């Protein structure tokens, strides 16, 4: 494994009086897609939010490209090249698709070439370019959320459950999009419940339980080892369907 | 945005359906047209023209004062009850420049000399209110973000301090504000015009209407077409996601607060020249209209604020003419009526 682009060591975080993360250790290798698996409530989303500086870190360290970013304000973390697609997608529904994209292109006008690539990846974006984003369907909103994240070259994408509530055909489109991003050597940390989707895309994998990482390794290993899946995820039945 | 919605929906058929669609989709225009029509049939057309222009002028000035407060609430979710103090501050700052300048160029009555006095006066009002707004956000508002009760307590306190500061600097008495010669008097509509021939329209009111429209147009343009505008609209909806994209929402808050305070100052200076007398508490008196306007229009909506202000201005003048004793009731009555019809105000800004 090359140098990790992002590494968490012993990260602890609280939301109100609840301890959500009790010492998370996580490495995201550069240029790879890492999947973060785990049951509901294991702390996956909180881990992403903590990396973005959206929850207060009470202990441990987050390092991005070797630099300590623990406790830095969210906008500064974002400007270092980390894009975050939250579970609810965070679409500005009163803004048009175009305005959503303009806002995401932080450093100035959108790059024409990159925009065309996004239109090819997600044709609905072109079709609904000047429509309010609130009128988009769930799948189209997810496309817009990912399009926003990649309108400018980023070092790292944090994506929280992109397949949640989407039809299989659209999940396939999203998988294709992630394949392309992988080819471009974008580092991605993907939180996912859909094991087939994550098995298809993931190179490395980490499994969380009860606010900590309980397994970290290569996806191929986990995918072949049904016993381990059973133990970590209780997924034995679903894995091969 | 509404233009796009119409594409998706079938066009209403028939006159009644079309009327209903107009009433539901454009409640602000519906109410405005209704009010003007009713008033038109209740009075002499010449009186109606004069009252309408006056009402629009009052609406324009109230809009200037209210627009900042509606943005502050919509974007920052801050209830700034000290907004009235910025109105007073702008009025005193503007009056100071005006009195000083007019004394210096006493007797000058050319348009140019007068404009040379009015423009710096308005500019100074804008600047003073803006700078004080900057300090106020840092010292008073910043510690109480996210807590409405504290905001109300702290801004009412801040408002008292600002108004007492006006007493300290300008003294406790009312100050008369001379209106420059070029802005006094009236345009006479030529006698040859049908119906409204010979009506005298006060110049200053026309200017207020034009300035109000210009500011409204500019604000709408900034909000609809610039990156700052996109950020403001995005921030009204979801502050966290604005930060996730790498923008510092606090800076945006500060900018909006300063702009809102500056506009309140501008409105105050306009009002000072309109009334030709100012007191430190004029802002408090105007705050009633301002609060009615922003609630009526839909909290956080610039367009709603504009139409709300025009409606308040018009109903004040119309009712004041028809039945002076009811004038004070009319404004609040309008608000109650609109809220019963549309509890979110005329043009609600949907918070997601």
Mutate to test the interface with A, among B237, B241, B251, B301 (most CBs of A within 10 A): B241
Which residues of chain B are within 8 Å of residue A103 when distances are taken between CB atoms? 227, 230-231, 234, 242, 245, 247
In a domain, B348, yes or no: no
Residue B2 lies in a domain: no
Interface contact A92-B233, CB threshold 8 A? yes
**Nearest CA of chain B to the CA of A143: how many Å?**
16
The answer to whether residues A29 and A187 touch, using CB atoms and an 8 Å cutoff, is yes
A96 forms bridges with which residues in the sheet? A132
**Residue ranges of chain B with per-residue pLDDT less than 70:** 1-12, 103-111, 350-352
Output DSSP code: residue A151.
Answer: S
Of the given ranges (A35-49, A140-154, A224-238, B338-352), which has the lowest mean pLDDT? Answer: A224-238
Note whether residue B351 is domain-resident.
no
Query: Over the stretch B88-102, which tens digit does the pLDDT of each residue have?
Result: 999 999 999 988 877
Domain interval for residue B139: 27-341
In angstroms, what CA-CA distances link B105 with A239, B2, B110, B344?
Answer: 88, 51, 11, 50
| Chain B from 242 to 281: CB within 8 A of any A CB | 242-249
Instruction: Locate A22 and state its tokens.
Output: 């009790």
Selected residues 185-244 of chain B with any CB under 8 Å from a CB in chain A: 227, 230-231, 233-234, 236-238, 240-244
Report the CATH number at residue B160: 1.10.3470
Burial group, residue A25, by CB count within 10 angstroms (0-12, 13-18, 19+): middle
pLDDT above 70: percentage of residues in chain A: 96
* B-chain residues near A92 (CB < 8 A): 233-234, 237-238, 241
Do B237 and A92 lie within an 8 Å CB cutoff?
A: yes
- Banded model confidence at residue A237, pLDDT cuts 50, 70, 90: very low
CA distances to A169, B1, B82, B233, B288 from B229, rounded to whole Å, are 36, 14, 25, 6, 28
Q: Give B169-216 pLDDT, tens digit per residue.
A: 999 889 888 887 777 778 888 887 777 777 888 888 888 999 999 999
The ipTM estimated for the assembled molecules is 0.90
Whether B13 is in a domain gets the answer: no
Name the minimum distance, in Å, from the CA of A222 to any CA of chain B: 32
A216 Cβ neighbours under 8 A, 6+ residues apart: A25, A26, A27, A204, A205, A206, A207
Whether B352 is covered by a domain: the verdict is: no
CATH superfamily of A1-81+156-241: P-loop containing nucleotide triphosphate hydrolases (3.40.50.300)
Task: Name A81's Cβ contacts closer than 8 Å, sequence gap at least 6.
Answer: A153, A154, A155, A156
**Domain presence at residue B22:** no
Q: Residues B181, B109: contact at Cβ < 8 Å? A: yes
**For the segment A177-199, what is each residue's pLDDT rounded down to a tens digit?**
999 999 998 999 999 988 889 98
> How far, in Å, CA of B25 to CA of B268, rounded?
33
Q: How far apart are CA B126 and CA A89, in angstroms?
A: 40
Q: For residue B12, tell me if it sits in a domain.
A: no
> A103 in contact with B at a CB cutoff of 8 Å?
yes
Q: Where in chain A is the domain with CATH 3.40.50.300?
A: 1-81+156-241
Express each pLDDT in A5-52 by its tens digit.
999 999 999 888 788 899 999 999 999 999 999 888 889 999 999 999
The tokens of B41 are what? 């049939």
pLDDT in tens, A48-86: 999 999 998 999 999 999 999 998 999 999 999 999 999
Min Cα distance B231 → chain A (Å) is 7
* pLDDT for the residue numbered A241: 39
- B106 contact A CB<8A: no
B343 touches chain A (CB under 8 A): no
pLDDT over threshold 80, residue A2:
no
Domain count, chain B: 1
Angstrom distance (rounded) from CA A115 to CA A158? 20
């Amino acid at each position: 494994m090359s140098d990790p682009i992002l590494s968490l060591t012993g990260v602890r975080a609280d939301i109100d009086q609840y301890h959500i993360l009790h010492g998370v250790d996580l490495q995201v290798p550069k240029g790879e897609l890492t999947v973060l698996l785990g049951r509901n409530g294991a702390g996956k989303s909180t881990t992403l939010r903590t990396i973005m500086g959206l929850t207060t870190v009470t202990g441990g360290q987050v390092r991005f490209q070797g630099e300590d970013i623990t406790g830095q304000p969210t906008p500064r973390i974002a400007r270092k090249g980390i894009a975050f697609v939250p579970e609810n997608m965070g679409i500005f529904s009163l803004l048009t698709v175009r305005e959503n994209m303009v806002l995401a292109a932080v450093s100035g006008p959108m790059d024409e070439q990159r925009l065309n690539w996004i239109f090819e990846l997600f044709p609905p974006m072109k079709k609904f370019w000047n429509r309010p984003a609130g009128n988009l369907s769930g799948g189209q909103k997810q496309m817009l959320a990912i399009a926003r994240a990649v309108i400018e070259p980023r070092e790292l994408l944090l994506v929280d459950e992109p397949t949640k509530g989407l039809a299989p055909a659209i999940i396939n489109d999203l998988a294709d999009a992630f394949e392309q991003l992988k080819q471009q050597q974008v580092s991605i940390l993907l939180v996912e419940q859909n094991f087939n989707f994550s098995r298809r895309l993931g190179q490395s994998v980490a499994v969380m339980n009860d606010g900590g990482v309980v397994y970290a390794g290569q996806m191929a290993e986990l995918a072949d080892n049904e016993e381990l899946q059973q133990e970590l995820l209780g997924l034995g039945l679903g894995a091969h369907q | 945005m509404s233009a796009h919605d119409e594409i998706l929906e079938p066009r209403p058929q028939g006159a009644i359906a079309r009327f209903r669609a107009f009433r539901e989709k454009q409640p602000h225009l519906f109410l405005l047209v209704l009010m003007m029509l009713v008033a038109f049939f209740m009075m002499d057309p010449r009186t109606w023209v004069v009252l309408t222009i006056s009402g629009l002028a009052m609406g324009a000035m109230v809009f200037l004062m209210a627009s900042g407060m509606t943005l502050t609430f919509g974007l920052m979710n801050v209830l700034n009850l000290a907004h009235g103090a910025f109105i007073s501050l702008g009025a005193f700052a503007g009056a100071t420049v005006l009195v000083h300048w007019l004394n210096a160029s006493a007797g000058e009555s050319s348009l140019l000399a007068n404009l040379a006095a009015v423009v710096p006066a308005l500019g100074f009002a804008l600047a003073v209110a803006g700078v004080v707004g900057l300090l106020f956000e840092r010292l008073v508002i910043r510690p109480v973000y996210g807590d409405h009760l504290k905001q109300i307590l702290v801004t009412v306190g801040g408002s008292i301090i600002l108004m007492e500061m006006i007493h300290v600097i300008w003294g406790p008495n009312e100050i008369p504000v001379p209106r420059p010669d070029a802005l006094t008097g009236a345009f006479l509509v030529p006698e040859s015009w049908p119906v409204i021939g010979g009506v005298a329209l006060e110049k200053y009111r026309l200017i207020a209407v034009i300035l109000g429209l210009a500011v409204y147009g500019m604000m709408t343009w900034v909000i609809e077409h610039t990156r700052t505008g996109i950020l403001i609209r995005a921030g009204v909806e979801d502050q966290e996601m604005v930060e996730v994209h790498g923008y510092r929402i606090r800076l945006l808050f500060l900018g909006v607060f300063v702009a809102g305070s500056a506009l309140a100052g501008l409105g105050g200076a306009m009002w000072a020249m309109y009334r030709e007398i100012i007191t430190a508490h004029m802002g408090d008196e105007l705050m009633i209209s301002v609060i009615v306007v922003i609630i009526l229009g839909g909290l956080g909506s610039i367009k709603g604020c504009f139409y709300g202000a025009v409606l308040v201005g018009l109903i004040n003048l119309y009712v004041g003419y028809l039945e002076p004793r009811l004038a004070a009731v009319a404004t609040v009555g309008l608000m109650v009526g609109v809220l019963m019809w549309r509890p979110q105000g005329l043009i609600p800004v949907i918070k997601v």
